[in-house]
Structure 1
């Protein structure tokens, strides 16, 4: 049985930060809380333990981010 929560919205990216208090109350957080603005980071995991991180820079300027820590 699924016991998770899903949150979705159709809002402007500049307003997404308004959801932070709501998401914090739900205990929802991302794998990369310190990601630069405009940088989308997604971790995909396989049942065998392999993980991949995809990075998409939606901004116009280059950004750097530290190598993500391995997950257990």
Structure 2
């Protein structure tokens, strides 16, 4: 049976916990460290925190999303 890889589920759970409660459950943190090591887990928490901060900042400043008339139809900066 195909499904979502357990690593993705773990990272999504960590993201949900950090963005809604600003803290990881002990079980989630233990699983992150077991799977990605201490350095990898810290990097993941930093990445999650950075993007959370960025979205809070943009929403707080009422920055509107870019529309196709501003950015065109390209989905990549290379294309």
Q: TM-score range, shorter-chain basis?
A: under 0.3
**Structure with more strand by fraction:** 1
Structure 1 or 2: more helix by fraction: 2
- Work out which of the two has the higher radius of gyration on C-alpha atoms and give 1 or 2: 2
Normalising by structure 1, what TM-score? 0.26
